[in-house]
């Protein structure tokens, strides 16, 4: 994985801005810059990054103000090569986003986010679910009324696994990022930046090679 670290956008390089750009001459979003650094064709959906992580990065990029967006530039090299089993990546990233948003989002959004946090961990294999379930549990504990509503709603209207995989993860991410951006808190942009960095760290852990067991003296 690249070790390039960007703290500010160098002269002559595309500057981060909202939306898609036809070329680097007009600017770049987070993922377009990643495609550039990865040596891929210019795109906001490069092959080097998991699609759901890229979705989160684009959403955070577009919600940040021009004054704060360059803060995430140094994280761009981290997403290059972060692509693995999408069936695992997608729910992990979606739960991370929903858990970050649930405590601060509006009441209406909290219900949908709580539903996501109850349903999405079930997509994961048992060996990958425990840490994700813990993250979800901490967030749900911060919004017990939303959790109660979501449990009853899911009991009456269960969500099919196929629908969760097809659109549920992306919808949870979009809802979470908007919920944070519009939350009545002092500094939503810092929370968005931390969310993106935490999700990248989650993806890095998923791809980390298995640790070699410690030798036991006999």
Please check whether residue 154 lies inside any domain of the structure. yes
Determine the structural domain holding residue 163 and report its residue range.
86-207
Query: For residue 128, what pLDDT is reported?
Result: 76
User: Could you give the number of structural domains in the chain?
Assistant: 1
Question: What does 131-191 look like in DSSP terms, one character per residue?
Answer: HHHHHHHHHHHT-HHHHHHHHHHHHHSPPPHHHIIIIIHHHHHHHHHHHHHT-SSS-HHHH
Per-residue pLDDT tens over the stretch 34-51:
998 999 998 889 999 999
Answer yes or no: is pLDDT of 83 > 60: yes
Answer yes or no: is pLDDT of 89 > 90: yes
Please check whether residue 180 lies inside any domain of the structure. yes
Please check whether residue 13 lies inside any domain of the structure. no
Please check whether residue 55 lies inside any domain of the structure. no
Please check whether residue 110 lies inside any domain of the structure. yes
pLDDT tier at 204 (50, 70, 90 boundaries)?
very high
Query: For residue 18, what pLDDT is reported?
Result: 74
Query: For residue 13, what pLDDT is reported?
Result: 58
Answer yes or no: is pLDDT of 215 > 50: no
* pTM given for the model: 0.86
DSSP state of 19: S
Query: For residue 23, what pLDDT is reported?
Result: 64
Please check whether residue 58 lies inside any domain of the structure. no
Please check whether residue 216 lies inside any domain of the structure. no
Question: What does 22-79 look like in DSSP terms, one character per residue?
Answer: SSGGG-B-HHHHHHHHTTPPS-SS-TTS-HHHHHHHHHHHHHS-HHHHGGGGGGHHHH
Percent of the chain past pLDDT 70, that is, above it, reads 85
Please check whether residue 59 lies inside any domain of the structure. no
Which tokens is 67 given? Answer: 């004054």
């Amino acid at each position: 994985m690249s070790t390039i670290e960007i703290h500010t956008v160098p002269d002559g390089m595309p500057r981060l801005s909202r939306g898609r750009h036809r070329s680097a001459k007009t600017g770049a979003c987070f993922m377009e810059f990643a495609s550039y650094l990865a040596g891929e064709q210019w795109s906001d959906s490069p092959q080097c990054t998991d699609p759901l992580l890229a979705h989160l990065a684009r959403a955070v990029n577009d919600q940040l103000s021009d004054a704060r967006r360059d803060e995430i530039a140094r994280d761009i090299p981290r997403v290059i090569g972060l692509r693995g089993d999408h069936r695992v990546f997608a729910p992990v990233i979606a739960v991370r986003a929903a858990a970050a948003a649930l405590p601060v989002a509006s009441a209406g959004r909290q219900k949908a986010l709580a539903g996501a946090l109850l349903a999405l961990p079930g997509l994961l294999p048992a060996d990958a679910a425990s840490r994700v379930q813990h993250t979800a549990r901490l967030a749900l504990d911060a919004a017990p009324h939303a959790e109660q509503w979501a449990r009853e709603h899911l009991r009456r209207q269960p969500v099919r696994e196929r629908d969760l995989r097809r659109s549920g993860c992306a919808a949870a991410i979009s809802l979470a990022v908007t919920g944070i951006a519009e939350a009545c808190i002092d500094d939503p942009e810092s929370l968005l930046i931390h969310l993106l960095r935490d999700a990248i760290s989650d993806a890095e852990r998923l791809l980390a090679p298995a640790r070699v067991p410690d030798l036991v003296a006999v």
